[in-house]
Homo-oligomer: A and B are copies of this chain.
Amino acid sequence: MTRDVAEAPTLIDGLQYCNWSRDIFQQMRQGGMSAVHATVSYHDGFRDTVRNLVEWNWRFRDHAHLILLGRSADDIAAAKASGRTAIFLGLQNPLPIEDDLGLVEILHELGIRFMQLTYNNQSLLGSGWMEALDGGITRMGREVIAEMNRLGIAIDMSHSGERTTLEAIELSTRPVAITHANPSWWRETGRNKSAMVLKALAKTGGMLGLSLYPHHLRQGSATPLHEFCAMAVEVATIVGVDNLGIGSDLCQGQPDNVVQWMREGRWTRSDPRSAKVAFPAQPDWFRDNRDFVDLAGGLNAAGFSDSDIAKVLGENWQNFMRKAFRPGA
């Protein structure tokens, strides 16, 4: 891919779930963000997801000078040309498709471009990383992967179990994404990914978006930028510098009951006497969208070339989206 160095860089964040507001969209512009993948639903069924999409429709109207709905990779260039940020919508859980394959196409028509096959727990399609046993991709999961491949919805395995993730990578005819996770050898948690998963992902042209969420970082909120960037260098030697991006998992402005809801969903009833969970503090070098471009300095100090930095901060996601979103036959 050739780049015009005089042009503004293409900056793409592979996942955010902010408490969306005009302020945040203005910060995206101040930070020069070309595109952001934004989560629409976690523990929401179809109807609630449609309501969330209605709210996005209103945001696109109310802030039309700041953001636009991304439907294809071409919309990244369109957003850049008009000084806006393209928002690509995604689901962190397949609950919105219920047990109805037809809802995959309905949600694609409504703008959904990413979907996780599982959140943390077992779904109709596979297993999440928190389950004791991961039985892999289910019978329905195979159908949904084929339908997502047909339509051009990116399969996101960030929260899935290892076996489910490996099988999805193998079954999918298009490259798969892990939009927001780090290697598990760097920060040990079942939520992060093993070298085996990362190698399988990269072998099929899939993308890893490195997470900036403190619970995925070696030293949590105190992790220094140079340590994160040294990890990025190491990961690049395994997945290749063309398959690496950022998926910050930024949850800016969310009240703490949201992280409790993320974890518990609608079938856990927490003990009201138990300590409430809270969002961790952001690392001081990534508070919000305005800091994204400054990751370049850390990556440079860690040894990435300018052209590799351009890839990691946006061009790789753009290339992935070209392959992932192109309408099928």
Residue A277, interface by CB 8 Å: no
Could you tell me if B47 and A105 are in contact, using CB atoms closer than 8 angstroms? no
Q: Complex formed: what's the CA distance from A58 to B104 in Å?
A: 12
- Residues of B contacting A53 in the complex (Cβ-Cβ under 8 angstroms): 106
Q: Is A195 part of the contact surface with B, judged by Cβ < 8 Å?
A: no
1/0 contact string of A87-129 vs chain B (CB within 8 Å): 0000000000000101101100111000000000000000000
- Indicate whether A30 reaches chain B with its CB closer than 8 angstroms: no
**B residues within 8 A CB of A46?**
47, 50
Check A54 for interface membership: any CB of B closer than 8 A. yes
Beta-carbon contacts of A44-62 to B below 8 Å, as 1s and 0s?
Answer: 0011001101110110000
Task: Please tell me the size bucket of the interface on A.
Answer: 10 to 19
Give the secondary structure class of A's interface: helix
**A98: nearest residue on chain B (CB-CB)?**
B47
Copies of this chain present in the complex amount to: 2
Among A46, A53, A58, A106: residue with most chain B CB under 10 A: A106
Residues of chain B contacted by A47 (CB below 8 angstroms): 46-47
Name A69-93 residues within 8 Å CB distance of B.
none
Closest to A54 in B: B102
The distance in angstroms between the C-alpha atoms of A35 and B111, with both chains bound, is 27
Closest B residue to A110 by beta carbon equals: B109
Name the CB-closest residue of B to A104: B54
Q: Which residues of B contact A105 (CB under 8 A)?
A: 54, 57
In the complex, which of the residues B51, B100, B103 contacts A102, with contact meaning CB atoms closer than 8 Å?
B51
Distance (Å) between the CB of A58 and the closest chain B CB? 7
How far, in angstroms, from A53 to B53 measured CA to CA in the complex?
18
Q: How does the 8 Å CB contact mask read for A20-60 relative to B, with 1 for contact and 0 for none?
A: 00000000000000000000000000110011011101100
- In the complex, which of the residues B51, B55, B100 contacts A51, with contact meaning CB atoms closer than 8 Å? B100
Q: Which of B51, B55, B100, B110 contacts A110 (CB 8 A)?
A: B110
**Which A residues form the contact surface with B (CB < 8 A)?**
46-47, 50-51, 53-55, 57-58, 100, 102-103, 105-106, 109-111
Other than the given A54-B102, A54-B106, 8 more pairs (CB < 8 A) read A46-B47, A46-B50, A54-B105, A106-B110, A109-B109, A109-B110, A109-B111, A110-B110
- Selected A-B contacts with CB under 8 Å, 8 pairs: A50-B103, A50-B106, A54-B105, A55-B102, A57-B105, A57-B106, A106-B110, A109-B109
